[in-house]
Amino acid sequence: MYRPILATLGFILSEDERQVLLVHRNKRSEDAHLGKYNGLGGKMEAEEDALACLKREVKEEAGIDCLETELRGTVNWPGFGPDGEDWFGFIFLVKSYRGAVATENEEGDLYWKQIAELSELPMWEGDKYFMPLVFDGDPRPFHGHMPYKDGSPLGWNFLRG
């Protein structure tokens, strides 16, 4: 039976929309994401919808409140987890926020990175497939499927609605 872990992943834009806030996962040696850059987010709780989860996670991880958000798409990652767990993610763009951005959290240090240079950062291999869709400005959300095995993607396909 397919019972994925539901999660959100948010990319917070700078005011000029040329940079995005990322966490460099460098704090916990047992972290499956150690050394990688990623957006902010995490696992959805039973009493939450996707937007509530995103807002909670961004507040916990960066200390800011999301004001304007856009659902950019979804990704189904079967086999993504460290023990082969299936994940399903809601991918958001945060276009405005309130508050002072933290410089770190329990997972790592927070950095503003140029969107044009994201492909040069150490990330999950599969992130480089869907990340351009997050920032391409197409108003239609994408819905992707990226099966994983042993920490690597086996393929990628998506549709836009």
Dihedral, CA atoms, 112, 101, 24, 5, nearest 10 degrees? -120
Is residue 8 within 8 A of residue 50, CB to CB? The reply is yes
Q: Rg for the chain (alpha carbons), in Å? A: 15
What is the predicted pLDDT for the residue at 27? 82
Helix (H) or strand (E) run with residue 57 in it = helix 50-62
More reliable by pLDDT, 28 or 10 = 10
Instruction: Assign 31 a pLDDT band (cuts: 50, 70, 90).
Output: low
Strands 5-13 and 148-149, bridge-based pairing: unpaired
Domain boundaries, the chain: 5-153
The type of residue at 11 is: F
* Contact predicate 110/62, CB 8 Å: yes
Task: Provide the residue type at 56 as one letter.
Answer: R
Q: For 42-74, how does the pLDDT look when each residue is reduced to its tens digit (9 = 90+)? A: 999 999 999 999 999 999 999 999 999 999 999
Say if domain 5-153 classifies as CATH 1.10.510.10: no
pTM: 0.94
Q: What is the mean pLDDT of residues 99-121?
A: 95
